[in-house]
Amino acid sequence: MPRPLAVCLAGHVDHGKSSLLGRLLHELDLLPEGKVAKLEAASASRGVPLEWSFALDALQLERDQAVTLDTTRVHVRMPRRELIIIDCPGHRELVRNLVTGAAGTAAALLRLLGIHDFVVAVNKMDALDWSEARFSARRDEIAATLAQLGVVVHAIIPTSARDGGNIVAPPAAPWWHGPTLAGALEALPDERAAMADAPLRLPVQDVYRSGTRRVVAGRVAQGALRAGDEVMVLPSG
């Protein structure tokens, strides 16, 4: 089995990112024994339907407000591949956490930091009664936008995190003949070997100062960094 591929799960608040990942873990039978019962109890105590995001939103504030405040890294073992899925917050105020989570990924559900490989999940299709017309309109809109960015879209798929539609098993929608979310994720290419030979790219997360000494903190996105290399800092040059 290939080494784990890092995937960033990103999108705006309330798009169901954490719910999608929580349901994926359930469908793959990766949640601990008794976890679903705890999720049911936690959801019932708040007067809401079973909330799959509670499987990941460990902070009390996250559960109370139904939002993701920090990044969460989850190892997902699939039949043919292992992924590291990084669940990121969607609020603009928390964009720094989102960028931090995306810095180490090689594929994404939304564009971040020059990442070029995409799988797009159009979630909450159950709220639209799995309307083919509504999905097709949104799919065409997304495809046109991403084409302008010059990225590779491997799949745009309809999903329903709440009822598990098209997560691991195909949905109850006779018009859909494409992949499931799990299938699309398993099919993502791994371009890290080629990236190692590419020019160095290191997005700077922060700069720490100690007297006259400065330490630049970041994660190498591509290329390699060796002692003695000359480094150009952008945008100053």
| Structure confidence by residue, pLDDT tens digits, 60-113 | 344 444 444 456 788 888 888 899 888 766 555 555 555 556 555 656 656 445
Predicted local confidence at residue 148, as pLDDT: 82
Instruction: Give Dmax (Cα) for the chain.
Output: 65
- Of 2.40.10.230, 3.40.50.11260, 3.40.50.300, 3.40.50.1010, the CATH number of 5-190 is 3.40.50.300
Determine contact, residues 164/23, Cβ cutoff 8 Å: yes
* 149-179 pLDDT, tens digit each: 777 899 999 999 999 999 999 999 999 999 9
Q: According to the 3-state scheme, what is the secondary structure of 174-231?
A: CCCCCCCHHHHHHCCCCCHHHHHCCCCECCEEEEEEECCEEEEEECCCECCCCCCCCC
Q: Which is more confidently placed, 114 or 126? A: 126
Predicted local confidence at residue 109, as pLDDT: 59
Predicted local confidence at residue 68, as pLDDT: 46
From the list 110, 107, 118, the residue with the least C-alpha distance to 7 is 107
Determine contact, residues 171/165, Cβ cutoff 8 Å: yes
Q: Which of 8-17, 60-69, 196-205 has the lowest mean pLDDT?
A: 60-69
Predicted local confidence at residue 64, as pLDDT: 46
Predicted local confidence at residue 228, as pLDDT: 92
* 217-234 pLDDT, tens digit each: 888 877 888 899 988 888
Task: Tell me the three state secondary structure of residue 94.
Answer: helix
| Domain boundaries defined on the chain | 5-190, 196-237
Using alpha carbons only, what angle is made at residue 4 by residues 145 and 68, rounded to the nearest 5 degrees? 60
pLDDT of 211 higher than 70: yes
Burial of residue 167 (number of CB atoms within 10 Å: 0-12, 13-18, 19+): buried
Predicted local confidence at residue 63, as pLDDT: 41
Q: Which is more confidently placed, 56 or 194? A: 56
Compute the distance between CA of residue 156 and CA of residue 180 in angstroms, rounded to an integer.
Answer: 10
For range 184-204, the mean pLDDT: 79
